[in-house]
Chain A
Amino acid sequence: DARVTQTPRHKVTEMGQEVTMRCQPILGHNTVFWYRQTMMQGLELLAYFRNRAPLDDSGMPKDRFSAEMPDATLATLKIQPSEPRDSAVYFCASGLAGGHEQYFGPGTRLTVT
């Protein structure tokens, strides 16, 4: 049963620390998305990749966030240094370019104290 996996599921860290979140897209999917969800802002698109190339990262604070796809089976989202306002649930989703559905992972719940 193919699923998007994300690690870690939960992360608590102190402000100033580096945080790395990982995502394994569904095998064969060529688009990968990173979203952030908070109660106040709802779901926000941070970045997305097609065939491992970043297509849009305009939703991401460039000074502290970075997203990469080292290979087709791994996407990473890094925050350095982290701040309390980064506390949120971060979702990864994958899909096929031109397809109907994005398949979401279970999310990483990040708490920065």
Chain B
Amino acid sequence: GEDVEQSLFLSVREGDSSVINCTYTDSSSTYLYWYKQEPGAGLQLLTYIFSNMDMKQDQRLTVLLNKKDKHLSLRIADTQTGDSAIYFCAEKRGNNDMRFGAGTRLTVKP
């Protein structure tokens, strides 16, 4: 399809791992991104991965990329209430255009 797709909602308990999934559209996309939006604010870049990598780890965050299936995931270990936010997947397409998913609203319950 034309759109970057994500589930709109995810709810987890504090201390559990969160996994947010995304499917993107362009097999020639060069970079894939995760952005975070906290309440009342704009989006901010969280992390990104080059398309020839299959994993990137940064402290509690793990990004997995399955290029064959055009599937990207973001795992947050030991999820905290402060991680409650909306998480956006984005791809940089072969023509340098960037496209965002609609966002996944993560709710962390104490």
Contacts and interface: CB of A to CB of B under 8 A. Distances in A.
Question: What interface size band does chain B fall in?
Answer: 20 to 34
A29 B107 CA distance: 34
B24 interface: no
Contacts, number: 43
Contacts of B100: 35, 43, 45
Interface residues of A, number: 22
Contact of A97 (B8, B88, B96): B96
Nearest to A105: B42
Interface of A: 4, 35, 37, 41-45, 55-56, 91, 93, 95, 97-98, 100-102, 104-107
Given A43-B43, A100-B92, A102-B45, 16 more contacts: A41-B102, A42-B101, A42-B102, A43-B100, A43-B103, A44-B102, A45-B99, A91-B43, A93-B42, A97-B96, A100-B31, A100-B33, A101-B45, A104-B42, A104-B44, A106-B42
